[in-house]
Amino acid sequence: MHLIEAKNLKKIYENEEVKTIALKKADFTVEKGEFIAIMGPSGSGKSTLMHIISFLTNPSGGEYIFKGNNTENMDEEERAEARNKEIGFVFQSFNLLPRTSVFDNVRLPLIYSDRPTNKHNELVNDAIKSVGLEHRKNYLSNQLSGGEKQRVAIARALVNDPDILFADEPTGNLDSKSGTQIMKILEDLNDEGKTVIMVTHERDTAEHAKRIIYLRDGEITKDIKVSNRKSSANGRELAK
């Protein structure tokens, strides 16, 4: 059974009488443990595709099958539960609460989960440790560098131990050193068995993945394995 199966997915946005086709047709599968980059220029449909397969929006046509279940049959409550339990999100803009500690930012998803309350502190500390920020856990997020903020965002995405980590332009707001550190974390998570699906318009970033799906004008133009995969092995130490 595929983790994700997309069959002829389409997305049309309607504004009054204007229709915009964001995704024409998308057919692909994702297996557990893959590291996939969805790549394309602005307006190619890559973010729309990610929003559909991460339950942030519904397709206008086609089928989206998640873990063998046709998502057309899921109500909004089931979709929200899937977003909270099955999926972790990392965004280009970090989306952290600014005057809130690292610890409390990472704890946020647990508030809406069914994890036992007496396990929350342990889960948060483990997630923060996994991105090398134990020494920053009591800092406010607006006291952190951009790279540290993105590491907090990754820890928050991991705290519920989701099956899939979605990363939307995760290095887009970072300098090259911080970007390399973020890609190192994503590589390590994938090596540990986490499925990673990343949207990027940067070829250098995409080539850290094991597979690249190229989009242009709402259509998949190529779906290839990465033969000469880039690695963040050099400079692997996270800044303290």
Question: pLDDT for 142-179, tens place per residue?
Answer: 999 999 999 999 999 999 999 999 999 999 889 989 99
Long-range CB contacts (< 8 A, 24+ apart) of 222-227? 223/28
- Contact present, 147 and 238 (Cβ < 8 Å): no
In this structure, which CATH number among 3.40.50.300, 1.10.3720.10, 3.30.365.10, 3.40.50.11890 belongs to the domain 34-40+76-239?
A: 3.40.50.300
Among residues 181, 174, 170, 180, the alpha carbon closest in space to that of 240 is found at: 181
Q: At what angle do helices 176-191 and 146-158 cross, to 10 degrees?
A: 20
φ and ψ at 172, to 5 degrees?
-60, -30
User: Average pLDDT for residues 42-60, to the nearest whole number?
Assistant: 93
Is the whole-model pTM more than 0.75? yes
Averaged confidence pLDDT in the chain: 91
Question: pLDDT for 183-210, tens place per residue?
Answer: 999 999 999 999 999 999 888 899 999 9
- Contact present, 189 and 196 (Cβ < 8 Å): yes
Question: pLDDT for 111-139, tens place per residue?
Answer: 888 889 999 999 999 999 999 999 999 99
pLDDT band of 233, cuts 50, 70, 90: low
Q: What is the DSSP string of the chain?
A: --SEEEEEEEEEEEETTEEEEEESB--EEE-TT-EEEEE--TTSSHHHHHHHHTTSS--SEEEEEETTEEGGG--HHHHHHHHHHTEEEEETT----TTSBHHHHHHHHHHTS-S-GGGHHHHHHHHHHHTT-GGGTTSBGGGS-HHHHHHHHHHHHHTT--SEEEEESTTTTS-HHHHHHHHHHHHHHHHTT-EEEEEES-HHHHTTSSEEEEEETTEEEEEEE-SS-----TT-SPP-
